[in-house]
Amino acid sequence: MGVLNVTPDSFSDGGRFTAREAALAQARRMVEEGAAVVDVGGESTRPGAQPVSVQEELDRVIPVIESLVRKVAVPVSIDTAKPEVMRAAVAAGAGFINDVLALRAEGALSVAAEAKVPVCLMHMQGEPRCMQENPQYQDVVSDIRDFLAARVAACEAAGIPRNQLVIDPGFGFGKTLEHNLELLRHLRAFTALGLPVLAGLSRKSLIGKALGLPVERRLHASVALALMAVQNGARIVRVHDVAPTVEAIRMWEAVYSPKAQET
Ligand code: YH5
């Protein structure tokens, strides 16, 4: 899954038209490099980020989704927690909902049920503005597994079939460095829920904390983390740098499952 941020700071070369063209070019490049999904996000969920209005988020993401759906050959994912944005994005052709709130916003469960597209349920403790202040768990792995199991049950009760769900422990969302490292070591525990596991580690602050690297120097560690996630059971990795990640994973497949090379 390739990350396509459409926040004002990401493609800020003036008017809306050039921004859309730049987003499309970036998406095409990620697909050429091997991305199987492009994840479009219009709200920054980085630690400390301020929320944006529904209208602002719609203005950012809907024109980009409309053009991607016509011009790229892979499903387009909408990274949002807002039900209004989910509904408009799916109407515009998005084929996947990626929700960092795991459909906990008011109305999100019913919108997702009506959308009839696959949904990623991510765990977050707290909210982006303050989630990194003092994250606490009894047992980070079982607490998050129980949370995700409960959200899966809520989805099924709302009419979303289980086979449409993906789960994600939410690296960096209300977790200390130690929490994140323990989750990665025990990622396979999440596969016990019988659903595909998604892992988003690309460029995240845990790399900065572990290695003392600024965001622009986190590529190599990001590739290493994506590969570790795949080794530990992840079926989808959400990354900014598609080509190097795909190469690393293809090499891993060549070693461990030679049949994958024939397809
Ligand atoms: C995720 O893990 N993450 S947005 C802080 C950074 C770098 C990157 C510089 N959406 C996830 O990518 N959706 C985001 O420090 C996500 N899983 C899913 N499913 C945060 C992000 C980032 C944050």
- pLDDT tens digits, one per residue of 67-113: 999 999 999 999 999 999 999 999 999 999 999 999 999 999 999 99
At 245 the pLDDT is 98
Position 257 confidence tier, pLDDT thresholds 50, 70, 90 = confident
Between CA 156 and CA 193 the distance in angstroms is 13
Atom number, ligand 1, closest to the C-alpha of residue 240: 12
At 263 the pLDDT is 54
Residue type at 65?
Answer: I
pLDDT at 256 over 60: yes
Q: Is the CB of 198 under 6 A from ligand 1?
A: yes
Please state the domain extents for the chain.
Answer: 2-262
| CATH for the 2-262 domain, from 3.30.479.10, 1.20.1290.10, 3.90.79.10, 3.20.20.20 | 3.20.20.20
Provide the whole-model pTM: 0.95
Contact 105, 61 (CB under 8 A): no
* CA-based nearest residue to 136, from 125, 145, 121: 125
At 20 the pLDDT is 87
At 258 the pLDDT is 76
At 11 the pLDDT is 66
Between CA 39 and CA 76 the distance in angstroms is 6
Position 223 confidence tier, pLDDT thresholds 50, 70, 90 = very high
Region class of 183: left (phi > 0), else alpha (psi between -120 and 50), else beta: alpha
pLDDT at 215 over 90: yes
Strand 119-122 relative to strand 96-99: parallel, antiparallel, unpaired?
parallel
Residue whose Cα lies nearest atom 23 of ligand 1: it is 46
Between CA 27 and CA 65 the distance in angstroms is 11
Atom number, ligand 1, closest to the C-alpha of residue 202: 8
**What 3-state class would DSSP assign to 57?**
helix
**What 3-state class would DSSP assign to 140?**
helix
**pLDDT per residue as tens digits for the range 5-47:** 998 877 655 555 678 899 999 999 999 999 999 999 999 877 7
Q: Please give the distance, rounded to the nearest whole angstrom, from the Cα atom of residue 259 to the centre of ligand 1.
A: 32
Q: Please give the distance, rounded to the nearest whole angstrom, from the Cα atom of residue 263 to the centre of ligand 1.
A: 30
Atom number, ligand 1, closest to the C-alpha of residue 171: 2
**pLDDT per residue as tens digits for the range 231-240:** 999 999 999 9
204 Cβ contact list (under 8 Å, min separation 6): 171, 172, 180, 218, 222
Average pLDDT for the chain: 94
Strand 198-200 relative to strand 165-168: parallel, antiparallel, unpaired?
unpaired
Q: Is the CB of 123 under 6 A from ligand 1?
A: no
* pLDDT cut 90: percent of the chain above it: 86
**pLDDT per residue as tens digits for the range 171-195:** 999 999 999 999 999 999 999 999 9
At 44 the pLDDT is 83
At 68 the pLDDT is 97
pLDDT at 260 over 70: no
Ligand 1: which of 77, 99, 100 to mutate, most ligand atoms within 8 Å of CB? 100
Q: Is the CB of 203 under 6 A from ligand 1?
A: yes
Catalytic center residues? 204, 238
Q: Please give the distance, rounded to the nearest whole angstrom, from the Cα atom of residue 142 to the centre of ligand 1.
A: 22
Position 262 confidence tier, pLDDT thresholds 50, 70, 90 = low
**pLDDT per residue as tens digits for the range 125-157:** 998 889 988 999 999 999 999 999 999 999 999
Residue whose Cα lies nearest atom 3 of ligand 1: it is 200
Q: Locate all alpha helices (DSSP H) within the chain, ordered by sequence.
A: 16-32, 54-71, 83-91, 108-115, 140-157, 177-185, 205-211, 219-231, 242-256
- List the 2-5 sheet strands across, edge first: 2-5, 38-41, 76-79, 96-99, 119-122, 165-168
Q: Please give the distance, rounded to the nearest whole angstrom, from the Cα atom of residue 205 to the centre of ligand 1.
A: 10
